[in-house]
Amino acid sequence: MAELFLPEAPSAASPLPANEPPAIPRGSVGVVSPQRIAFDQPLALTSGQVLPRYELAVETYGSLNAERSNAVLICHALNASHHVAGISADNPKDIGWWDNMVGPGKAVDTDRYFVIGVNNLGSCFGSTGPASLNPDTGRPWGAAFPVLTVEDWVRAQARLADHFGIERFAAVMGGSLGGMQALSWAITCPERVGHCIVIASTPRLSAQNIGFNEVARRAIISDPDFHGGDYYAHDTVPRHGLAVARMIGHITYLSDDDMATKFGRAQRAPADNGEFHYGYDVEFEVESYLRYQGEKFSTYFDANTYLLITRALDYFDPSRNHGGDLARALQSATADFLLVSFTTDWRFPPERSREIVRALLQNNRAVTYAEINAPHGHDAFLLDDVRYHAVVQGYYDRIAVKLGLGERKQINGVLA
Amino acid sequence: MAELFLPEAPSAASPLPANEPPAIPRGSVGVVSPQRIAFDQPLALTSGQVLPRYELAVETYGSLNAERSNAVLICHALNASHHVAGISADNPKDIGWWDNMVGPGKAVDTDRYFVIGVNNLGSCFGSTGPASLNPDTGRPWGAAFPVLTVEDWVRAQARLADHFGIERFAAVMGGSLGGMQALSWAITCPERVGHCIVIASTPRLSAQNIGFNEVARRAIISDPDFHGGDYYAHDTVPRHGLAVARMIGHITYLSDDDMATKFGRAQRAPADNGEFHYGYDVEFEVESYLRYQGEKFSTYFDANTYLLITRALDYFDPSRNHGGDLARALQSATADFLLVSFTTDWRFPPERSREIVRALLQNNRAVTYAEINAPHGHDAFLLDDVRYHAVVQGYYDRIAVKLGLGERKQINGVLA
């Protein structure tokens, strides 16, 4: 189990001095630490390869009830991790990536749900991945780490559910790539998913999506510091390629309008007379922002993981083995579904979610669908939007009623 | 003057054997060769720098009439050149980039108009640019070549007009970046532009546009073979960075729908069982296409020119010195205007053209505007679309009537 520090009970293990309790906002799960769980049985992968053993980095929030009926699995997108909510014990500035969504009294209410955040297999935040040691060689896997699929992640995560003794999740939930995992859970392990929550996602990448992924990969692979994926042995990282990859990705996460509002054509540091510098250094705020994002990313993200995760995105297409018919691919699913999309998301636009909704309705599944009018593009799924969060909160409240998980706690006489 | 070979009069200078006249399609300007025109007066640039001398590569089609009233200037976009129409004398496979638009009996009818195609200053197809020799050092300019603006291009082209004795163009016309040049001509040299034709363009780049340009530039600049722009001296080119830059650009030229139609999720060379290869080599057609486009581009385009032209795009904003008011920026213009946009162009969407239209109407200018419902994204301006070409042809026919340039030639009893 994760070490879980609730506001009411700050632990002595907290890195913060005992006489200075951290100012934890109401509704935070508090200071959290990950655990690493080892799986020693070989894992057969879609590619035909076998991973001899692996570890998954995990955080949990809330308590698993006696019936083990209140578990929620949160699946992450490209560059996120198991650190979904709360304050990292290692770094008080490191707040979970979906902290606005998950916590006591929040949409995913940890007073009633036991929430698991898991770092994907192949990622670089504690789970086994290309930077891990290959037991056969004693050196990092590097380019030899097997290519994974969304289905492989689900298989790896299913063992995590076994580890916690969870036969059936109240909900499996994710945004973007995380939504693909939730969808795949509902298709491949139908009996283990009560509710499937798919946010800002798609049943498959478009040619344009694959195109952007491919450009990002080319930027990494053609960086001489990539060394065919074995840069660990050369004590370097392909940071230029990784930065360019991240810059490309970042543009696709934001809407054109959002970028116009945030940056417009504002100059970063104009010459004395307000003029341009007439050169190739930063002139515009948007350049500065993208460079900063790219450079920051290149200091903490593993390049091989970037390749691996974008490739898993490319491959995902549950309809592929059903003649392209998504409804047939979803025939096995028995969960109830919530889908949410955002109007200005041009990476995975609402039409991609509607496609899933139509396919589910063809199968007579119970589907709730919300299309949120939001200016923030794909990134909207990470942001605090009152209508979006109200939809998710309402959905989880209904699940709680169905499962007898009790009411939302009252705070100051009003529902939290 | 360009050597101009019309079908009726194949020249002995043609590289094709005289007894095998080339199969020139009806309406082609035929086999053409460029000329290079030198300008020995220093050119003062927007940046404050001065270019001591320069040459422009030019092709011309049709004949300048005695009144010199039938001249049309065609301005090119990022990677094009003066080779607008016809078949290159050097390479019979090299057809001009706007050959479907310009030729005898075509929308821009070279039976009646004298058309000039000019390679932009700073480009790499014959005009003076970063790869040219710096007279001060005897070595290629490289990184020392001055940064240019759209206004600088217009200044350089105005001298070209002087060279041909053209006081006033019947029309200045361009698509994308070429449209910016046409707009700039109308603003900065109003007395020299009768009609201004701006296609698939914008009055200024958005933050997203600048963002994509910046990522492309970072890919080039961070390629170790760039050598700070002086790769000529190292006998290399930053081909990986240039390829990535081109791949990014290429995605933005196509619409999402167009890419879906052209490539979808088609596999390039599936494994025997139709399966994926589970690796990072080409899996999908769209990857193969983008890689090919990127690699081809890196063999013929100059990296410093890529930086220079994308930067000129970034800087363009005629409203900048008018408090952001485009209508005020256009007050000086006296031309009549034709604007064309394409519904699926997400690089420079129709709203950008409408913004120009509104600003022109505020100035009581005569404006024709067509929004073409076309699936091909930004690239639509280069493609043969019957409605689009009919709009442009109708506009040029009206100009011809106004200027007394005569009727379109009859071919087989119908208008060509």
* Structure confidence by residue, pLDDT tens digits, B73-109: 999 999 999 999 999 999 999 999 999 999 999 999 9
Beta bridge mates, A36: A57
Say what the pLDDT of residue B72 is. Answer: 98
Which range among A3-17, A55-69, B151-165, B207-221 shows the weakest confidence by mean pLDDT? A3-17
pLDDT at B59: 98
The distance of Cα B188 from the centroid of its chain, to the nearest Å, equals: 19
Is there a catalytic annotation at residue A176? Answer: yes
pLDDT band at B411 (very low <50, low <70, confident <90, very high): low
Q: What is the pLDDT of residue B17?
A: 42
pLDDT band at B296 (very low <50, low <70, confident <90, very high): very high
Residues of B forming the active site: 176, 345, 378
B220, amino acid identity = I
- The answer to whether the CB of B241 falls within 8 A of the CB of B362 is no
Beta strands B171-175 and B54-61, pairing class: unpaired
Q: Which residues of B touch A285 (CB under 8 A)?
A: 207
In Å, how far is A114's CA from the nearest CA of chain B? 35
DSSP structure class, residue B375: S
Model pLDDT for residues B307-317, shown as the tens digit of each residue: 999 999 999 99
The reported pLDDT for the residue numbered A345 is: 97
**Interacting residues of B413 by C-beta distance below 8 A, sequence separation 6+:** none
Q: Quick one: pLDDT at residue A408?
A: 84
Tell me the pLDDT band of A411, cut-offs 50, 70 and 90: low
Q: Which of A270, A271, A265 is nearest to A285 (CA)?
A: A265
Contact between B388 and B380 (Cβ < 8 Å): yes
The secondary structure of A28-49 as a DSSP string is ---EE--EEEEE-S-EE-TTS-
CA–CA dist B53, B39 (Å, integer): 6
* Full-model pTM: 0.92
Rounded Cα distance, B84 and B113, in Å: 14
**pLDDT band at residue B410 using 50, 70 and 90 as cut-offs:** low
Determine, for residues A278 and B251 on separate chains, whether the beta-carbon distance falls below 8 Å.
no
Kindly report the length of chain A: 416
User: What's the rounded mean pLDDT across residues B209-223?
Assistant: 98
- Of A33, A132, A176, A298, which residue is the catalytic one? A176
Q: Between the CA of residue A265 and those of A270, A276, A288, B356, what are the distances in Å?
A: 12, 12, 12, 18
| Positions of E strands within A78-148 | 87-88, 102-103, 108-109, 114-118
Residue A211, classed as helix, strand or coil, is: helix
Nearest-Cα residue of chain A relative to residue B208: A256
CB-nearest to A251 from B211, B285, B346 is B211
Q: At what angle do helices A150-163 and A303-315 cross, to 10 degrees?
A: 100
CB contact under 8 A, B212 and A251: yes
pLDDT at A406 over 60: yes
**DSSP class of A205:** -
Q: How far is B76 from chain A (nearest CA, A)?
A: 22
Give me the DSSP letters along A156-184: HHHHHHHHTT-SSBSEEEEETHHHHHHHH
% of residues, chain A, pLDDT over 70: 92
Indicate the SS3 state at residue B388.
helix
pLDDT the model gives residue B27: 86
- Residue A12 above 70 pLDDT? no
Q: If you search the block for the tokens 């992450």, which residue do you land on?
A: A76
Q: Which residues of B touch A326 (CB under 8 A)?
A: none
Q: Mean pLDDT across the stretch A347-356? A: 98
pLDDT digits (tens, 9 = 90+) for B255-283: 999 999 999 999 999 998 889 999 999 99
pLDDT beyond 80 at A348: yes
Residue A243: list chain B partners with CB under 8 A.
218, 222
pLDDT higher than threshold 90 for residue A242: yes
CA closest to A205 among chain B residues: B265
Residue with the two structure tokens 């990296």? B303
Average pLDDT over residues A185-203: 98
pLDDT value at position B3?
A: 30
What φ, ψ does residue A336 adopt, rounded to 5°? -85, 155
Contact B27, B106 (CB under 8 A): yes
- State the pLDDT confidence band at A409, using cuts at 50, 70 and 90: confident
Residue type, B154: V
Identify which of A207, A215, A294 has the shortest CB distance to residue B247: A215
Whether the CA torsion A264, A265, A269, A273 is positive or negative: it is negative
Least confident of A19-28, A295-304, A353-362: A19-28
Q: Quick one: pLDDT at residue B416?
A: 46
Amino acid at A71: A
Domains belonging to chain B, first-starting first, are 27-204+318-415 (3.40.50.1820), 205-315 (1.10.1740.110)
Residues shown for chain B? 416
Catalytic residue among A127, A345, A353, A385: A345
Band of residue B408 on the pLDDT scale cut at 50, 70, 90: confident
Choose among A163, A193, A203: nearest CA to A362.
Answer: A203
The per-residue pLDDT of chain B, averaged, comes to 92
Whether pLDDT at A414 is above 80: no
- Residue A11 annotated to the active site: no
Q: Quick check: A257 pLDDT over 80?
A: yes
Mean pLDDT of A294-307: 98
Residues of chain B neighbouring A147 (CB-CB closer than 8 A): 278-280
**pLDDT in the model for residue B26:** 60
Work out the pLDDT band at A14, boundaries 50, 70, 90: very low
Of A183-192, A243-252, B17-26, which range is least confident? B17-26
Residue with tokens 């970046």: B177
CA atoms of B79 and B184, how far apart (whole Å) = 19
At residue A396, what are phi and psi to the nearest 5 degrees? -65, -35
What number is the ipTM of this complex?
Answer: 0.91
Which residues, 6 or more positions from A248, have their beta carbon under 8 angstroms from its beta carbon? Answer: A212, A215, A216, A219, B215, B248
Which tokens belong to B60?
Answer: 């011309």
Characterize the bridge pairing of strands B54-61 and B114-118: antiparallel
Backbone angles phi, psi at A47, to 5 degrees: -70, -15
Share of chain A above pLDDT 90, in %: 90
Pairwise CA distance, residues B175 & A250, whole Å: 28
Nearest CA to B299 out of B254, B234, B236, B248 is that of: B236
pLDDT averaged over every residue in chain A: 92
H or E segment and range at residue B214:
helix B207-221
B62 pLDDT higher than 90: yes
The residues facing A62 across adjacent strands are none
